[in-house]
Each structure stands twice: as C-alpha cells, then as structure tokens.
Amino acid sequence: MKKSIMIIALALVSLSVYAQHENHDMQKKDNNQEIATYETDTKFQDQLAALYESSLALTEAFVSSDPAVVTKKAEIVELALKKIDMTLLKGKAHMDWMKYRKEIMSSIAIFKSEEKITDQRIAYADFSNSLYRSVKAFGMNGKEAYYQHCPMALNNTGAYWLSDKAEIRNPYFGNAMMKCGSTKEKIHD
C-alpha cells in the first residue's frame, strides 16, 4: 500500500514538473519572438518613455490589488498613449507600432471595464508584453527598465511586467506573494 501511494505521488510530481516545463516553454516562445528594432526619432522615444512612466503607477495599482485604482491609473496610461505621435514612424516601424498600440488599447479597455482584479491581471499580462515589445523595438531615449517575470502568475503559466526597480514587487499577487519573481532583462539603449 505504501509503495503504491509513493509511486502515485512520484507520478503526480513528475507530471506536474513536466506540465510546468511545457507551460514555461510556451511562454518563452511567446516572449522571445523576434522583435524588429528601429532607429527612431528621439521625440517618439521620449513619448514612449512617458507611456512607460505612466505604466509604473498602473503596475503599483496591481501590486495594491485594488481594481478601482487600476481603472483610475489606466486612464492616465491611456492619455499618455494618445500623446504618442505615430507620424514620427514610417514603413514597417509604423505598422509594428500600430499593432502594439492596438494591443495596449485593448488591455486598457479591459482595465477600465472589468471590476475583478483577476480579469484585469489577465489583460495586464498582454499589456506588459506589448509595452515590452514597443520599448525593445523603438527605445526610450536612454530610460532604463527591468523586465520581470513571475512563474506562478496566471495559474502557473507565468507572466511578465516592466519595472523601474530591480526589486521585485509582484503585480500579479501583490501582498500575497510580493517577492515572487525575478528580473529577466535590464533594458537600456
């Protein structure tokens, strides 16, 4: 009997480790897609930096786990996004920005319409991915950012966010698991 229970327990642990590994590989593929980089007008980079700066308060709203504050901070992010002059980009750079912008706008709409923090956090993962891709593609005129990851976010599928600090302050769990995560990349151009 004890041997059977141990075998079952070992099988369950092995299956769990395999599933986590598979989820991590899927997330890794999604976040390691090739990101085209562009020589970009510094005015655009400064406007993108302002968007990033506004997103930091949004991240802190997620850390506080308060959906009403998330909604309020999302409006500030939306204003910063609307101030970005996309006519400063041409060709493929313009097309890539339009795609990232659309994804960011979709996330903002969810932040503003959803009342449950869990639903807002799902959209925050998409928002963070699009913001990261934008920052990598166009730069922020010397502004620094930390690309951070929590492997347990979104039911153990993992999710990323941008921060201005190396210290981990997890927006997916807040006080429940404030320090869960690690810095995957320091971004500076």
Tell me the pLDDT tens digit for each residue of 171-187. 999 999 999 999 999 99
Q: How confident is the model at residue 15 (pLDDT cuts 50, 70, 90)?
A: very low
pLDDT band at 18 (very low <50, low <70, confident <90, very high): very low
What is the average per-residue pLDDT within 3-10?
47
The predicted model scores a pTM of 0.82
pLDDT band at 2 (very low <50, low <70, confident <90, very high): low
Backbone angle region of 3, left / alpha / beta, with phi > 0 → left and psi within -120 to 50 → alpha: alpha
pLDDT, averaged across the chain: 87
* Best CA proximity match to 71, nearest among 52, 89, 60, 58: 58
Of 30-39, 44-53, 78-87, 151-160, the poorest mean pLDDT is in: 30-39
For residue 88, what pLDDT is reported? Answer: 98
